[in-house]
Amino acid sequence: MISAVMPNYARKDLAFVRGEGVYLVDGQGRRYLDFCAGIAVTALGHCHPHLVETLQAQAGKLWHCSNLYQIPEQDRLAERLVDATFADSVFFCNSGAEAVECGLKLVRKYQDDHGAPERYRIVTCAGGFHGRTLATIAAGAQAKHTAGFTPLPEGFDQVAFGNLNELRAAITPETAAILVEPVQGEGGVRPATLDYLRELRRIADEFGVLLYFDEVQTGVGRTGKLFAYEWAGIEPDLLSVAKGLGGGFPVGACLAKEHVAASLTPGSHGSTFGGNPLAMAVGNAVLDVLLADGFLDAVDAKARILWRRLEKVVVSHPRIFKGLRGAGMLLALECEVENTRIIDRLEESGLLAVAAGDNVVRLVPPLIIEEQHIDEAVSVIDRVSAELEHVSSI
């Protein structure tokens, strides 16, 4: 008989009852160092005192009132995001897919408003991931996500990630935008080069199309800057963010330059829950921590330590790992053996990691990890690798 919950997830036989900073605790009281962070969501770890205090205080005041009314907490979070980024205006929603969906609609509406309704196609990259709605699986165009769900919304043209010739050739008079993840997360933690990102900006300008970054995974400090595009010294025209933005509370947002955002006229788009007072209070609390003096610099410094330590582990276990890639605290161990085998062994040893495409072990710790947690994670990975080498040599 079918389980009460639909069977779309292949879940591990593990349930947590509590979170404490960078650790999760299961029903038997076993502690796990959480380098999964709910897949890059719990950026400030579990039960961060400032987030707990904010959520509890707001829960006693007002949860939800609808976007029929003024929501000062929403204005405040939008203004802070505008101050800290390329953007002039923000739309709030509840998930990554919705944040991308808003951007996809906005791109079409912008072109339509500017007398070019024929410009509706969007160039995306192979290996990309943009969510699980019909439009976002069409954008991602991965067979494992689209199988059985056709017909899909039309208008996406895929090119190889990192290949500028293919990209240029794919742009036609019908192209509205280029949509790219600065680091492909689900696809296997594949970072674009900074030169590639800069060229995307140049090409978008040359052909008069919009540059749209999906930073649902790379945003909110994950790469050591508030957003990954900052590393390239360029700005997109619009950007989607979610995962880390609510620190575990569902919050998504689409950020855009004024000329683009102006197309989201009253009534053109909306969300019942998006930007409600409870979500916005938590989002503001996340930014309180993230934008505090020195926080992002510390993330960058710790990420560099983590990188150096992992590089040594990778080199010393060539039969288990063939490389390390990623950016900031979005890293991946490229595996010689099946990634899920390594992840299962890490979990048995008290370290949570998560798989991603291209047979990698993805490491996405909370941004608040300290050096001692890096030591702990690296020593678990080192030990498990040695054990796996031993097993595979018998």
Ligand X SMILES: *Cc1c(COP(=O)(O)O)cnc(C)c1O
Which residues are near ligand X by CB under 6 A?
Answer: 95-97, 100, 129-131, 181, 185-186, 214, 216-217, 242-243
CB of 243 to ligand X, least distance (A): 6
Minimal distance in Å, beta carbon 56 to ligand X? 24
Q: Specify the residue, 159 or 179, whose C-beta has the smaller distance to ligand X.
A: 179
Q: How far is the CB of 252 from ligand X (least distance, A)?
A: 7
Instruction: Name the residue whose CB lies closest to ligand X.
Output: 96
Instruction: Single out the residue of 321, 299, 302 nearest to residue 392, CA to CA.
Output: 321
Task: State in angstroms the smallest separation of the CB of 184 from ligand X.
Answer: 8
Considering beta carbons, is residue 42 or 217 the nearer one to ligand X? 217
Is the CB of residue 285 less than 8 Å from the CB of residue 40? Answer: no
Distances (CA, A) of 260 to 104, 272, 350, 358: 12, 22, 46, 35
The CB-of-94 to ligand X minimum distance in angstroms stands at 8
**Structure tokens, 376:** 């702990």
DSSP collapsed to 3 states, 90-113: EEEECCHHHHHHHHHHHHHHHHHH
We find the least distance from the C-beta atom of residue 182 to ligand X, in angstroms, to be 9
**Taking the C-alpha atoms of 320, 325, 326 and 328 in order, what is their torsion angle to the nearest 10 degrees?**
90
Of residues 130 and 345, the one with the C-beta less far from ligand X:
130
Which of residues 95 and 158 has its CB atom nearest to ligand X in the complex? 95
For the residues of 29-82, what is the DSSP string, one character each? --EEEESSHHHHT-TT-BS-HHHHHHHHHHHTT-S---TTS--HHHHHHHHHHH
For ligand X, give the closer residue by CB, 130 or 257: 130
Our CB check for ligand X shows the closer of 97 and 352 to be 97
Place of tokens 């080199």: 315
